Structure 1
């Protein structure tokens, strides 16, 4: 599958048929879903109809994509992708509702598998979308990130997962009381993710307090000063993951700067309950707010010295497709930046025993462009996985 940018450019130039592109994606989805189990539902009829009707002038004209299951149909992200000419071919798996780790996908019968190794999970909760993008079925998939749901699968599958500053992409439910979730996309190409994020950004009638429209930035070249932390808590990264990322950091200037964040586990649970409309004691809310305020200040002090903070996105490579409970802390580096709302992007930085390793780049609140610029410097182009369209 071509990149989203290349597809749209080809459609605009009359060199590509949107119908042919979508037919290819639908065919690939049918063939590979029996192995990877990434689909909740394939809607070929609607996809082919939209392909015949697409306006070739759209910024994403003819680009097939998958929608994360249980995404409200009125979501601004869907409305704006459709308006730009992108074509949904169906819905992709996510984890089952409920507590516990969300780093897997489930279609009601089978676990979603990772194209790099079908014994492994693609991560989650944007599981099916990540598996399909990594396999080359579609160049983009939608998701939401409350605790790493875009970044964790990006790390496991060797993709780009971008959680913009809180409010970067409007949501159908508007601004949550807890302020954890940012809608977004996952893609195989950094430029595609930036373009799609720009297309869907800006206030919407359902979320008028979303941040202003975000034009696609021209990424600066650096040089970049970064702080690197292999962990943000008591949970250590796999030494081999840590070493691979340290080796990749030779392309930037690493500065040793202390950072002391308060643990975010309890605060995240309280804020998640607020977002879900569940009752929370006032004292718990105050404690969560104190954690958020302390960590905001600590990060502001850090970013007075460096341009970005880099961490492993996940503490290990992809775990077994059904081993999420045993690996509940694998996405521990992600949670803190949902609590604070900072921009964070995961990009692949290499392979470990044939499985992707992702590095997470975090920058000051609102400075999404620097996060992406540093991520571009760190990004390593990976070979294709074992299963591809």
Structure 2
């Protein structure tokens, strides 16, 4: 079974009608992985025996007719804790780490009856934009196997885009769900900060990280967000308000919706890129459907990249102190003193990009540089947040490109960290502001997907889904399928 041919609701209907069993679905997943993952490289760890046992229990109990997710397979990014299943964060530091508890999102998926089939590749500790920084393997883009799937959630995106699984979870610190979704032609949601519990997510930037779903369609995405959202006493930053049904009135259209177009997210010299042209065409489609298009300004977005990399790296340098070779994780064999345990274990256990960010963060927080770097970045973040708040006084959602390019070649930017960082220029302001944003396909260029992001007010994912659903129904771009071949 190729999961590109079915929505979650269609799979659920087949389970209810007994055209398929949950065991059939899980066996199809592992068959797909066996057939395509040597080329794609999406999975790090599989848990076939446990998944098949869980599927048998679902079949014995019977699929709940009112629970769309019951018995359906899902893949989990490898920085999300799974009890009894290796969780490596794609790092040598944690290559043999087996957690003794599930992340809250995994508990919620279990409660919804979903079946985890394995752990997905990523940039080490979620630091990167191409999944080339994994210590385990390189993941390839199913649309062109010579290109990256994006990052850091590249494995999560590639597995769904290749039809191996119908849905996966990723995490987004500065675009790590939306950029891979853009590169692989998927729907990827970065929820409002606090909408989804971070308990059990291996921390990168604690004030920025959010877990969210990858799916082929908008409604599938909303269904999964329903399952993983909600207050969690184990996460003090989780939202204490009510969680709505994100599928409610999803099909009511966009007539009267005010869509803001941030001018800073487009070339201001008037030279329209192919990506911008696709997004402008999407805006024209919205206008035809009855939406009002309004130009707005987010003037401080230009400070997003420097502010983000100082704040995220500072938080990373603090969060990664726990990986010291003492309690768990990698420990160097070449040690002669206590200091050697710390220094050599971290030097050998962390990859180059992780060490680069730890050094940047430590420098930014150090005496004599805190005011000049971290404090200034925090002030810029406040201005960026205020820009979004002001824009949302005039409009209901914002629409902009997700990325400045389609998926680039493997090896194309890995030697140039600045170029790799600048690739996040359109996604990091959303994380700094803590607002929700969804990326979805809005066209193709030379056989590669183009993504646009729909940005909403805090805790207003419902309006984003309505806007996205209307465009998806008008275009049906999700029906396009990748080739699983190399490009020219």
Q: What is the TM-score normalised by the length of structure 1?
A: 0.91
> What's the counterpart of residue 162 of structure 1?
189
Q: How many Å apart are 1:313 and its aligned residue?
A: 0.4
Deviations 1:52-85 (A, max 9, x none): 1125224411211111113212211111111111
Secondary structure of the residue aligned to 1:333 is coil
Q: Residues 184, 109 of structure 1: CA spacing in aligned structure 2 closer, same or farther, 3 A cutoff?
A: closer
Task: Give the drift of 1:210.
Answer: 1.2
**CA, structure 1 residues 238+335, in 2 after alignment: closer, same or farther (shift >3 Å)?**
farther
Counterparts of 1:103-118 in structure 2 under 5 Å? 103-105=130-132, 108=135, 110-118=137-145
1:344 equivalent to 2:437? Answer yes
Matches of 2:55 and 2:262, distance apart in 1: 46
- Pairwise mapping of residues 113-262 of structure 1 onto structure 2 (< 5 A)? 113-172=140-199, 178-211=206-239, 212=241, 213-216=243-246, 217-219=248-250, 220-223=252-255, 224-229=257-262, 231-232=264-265, 239-252=273-286, 253-262=292-301
Residue of structure 2 equivalent to 1:36? 40
Residues 227-258 of structure 1, C-alpha deviations (whole Å, 9 max, x = no match): 22465498999711111211121122322233
Shift of 1:371: 1.7
The answer on 1:95 being equivalent to 2:123 is yes
- Structure 2 matches for 1:253-332, cutoff 5 A? 253-262=292-301, 263-276=303-316, 278=318, 280=365, 282-283=370-371, 284-325=373-414, 326=416, 327-328=419-420, 329-332=422-425
Take 1:243 and 1:189, find their aligned partners in 2: how far apart are those partners?
23
**Aligned-partner SS, 2:141:** coil
| 1:67 aligned partner | 76
State which of 44, 48, 52 in structure 2 corresponds to 1:48. 52
User: 369-378 or 151-160: which moved more?
Assistant: 369-378
Shift of 1:316: 0.4
CA distance in 1, matches of 2:284, 2:297: 20
Aligned pair 1:356/2:388, yes or no?
Answer: no
SS at match of 2:404: coil
| 1:369 Cα deviation from its structure 2 partner | 1.2
TM, length-normalised to structure 2: 0.74
The answer as to 2:24 corresponding to 1:20 is yes
Q: Which residue of 1 aligns with 2:358?
A: none
Q: Which moved more, 1:359-368 or 1:9-18?
A: 9-18
Q: What is the deviation of 1:43?
A: 1.9
Change (3 A) 1:98 1:155: closer
Gaps of 5+ in 2: 83-101, 287-291, 319-361
Q: Is the 8 A contact 1:105 1:127 kept in 2?
A: no
1:7 is matched with which residue: 7, 11, 15?
A: 11
Shift in alpha-carbon separation, 1:271–1:108, aligned structure 2, 3 A? closer
- Determine the C-alpha separation between the residues in 2 that align with 1:98 and 1:338: 14
For residues 281-325 of structure 1, what are the alpha-carbon distances to aligned partners after superposition, in whole Å with 9 as ceiling and x for unaligned?
A: 552443233222212222222122222211110100000123243
Give 5+ residue unaligned stretches, structure 1.
none
Residues 128-182 of structure 1: CA deviation (Å, up to 9, x unaligned): 1111101111111111100111101100000000011111110115899851011
Q: Provide the C-alpha distance between the structure 2 equivalents of 1:187 and 1:154, rounded to a whole number of angstroms.
A: 9
Between 1:87-96 and 1:311-320, the stretch displaced more is 87-96
2:126–2:152 contact (8 Å) kept in structure 1:
no
Partner Cα separation in structure 2 for residue 357 and residue 157 of structure 1: 8
CA distance in 2, matches of 1:231, 1:50: 49
Decide whether aligned partners of structure 1 residues 20 and 143 sit closer, same or farther in structure 2, where only a CA change above 3 A counts. Answer: same
- Tell me how far apart the structure 1 counterparts of residues 165 and 213 of structure 2 sit (CA, whole Å): 12
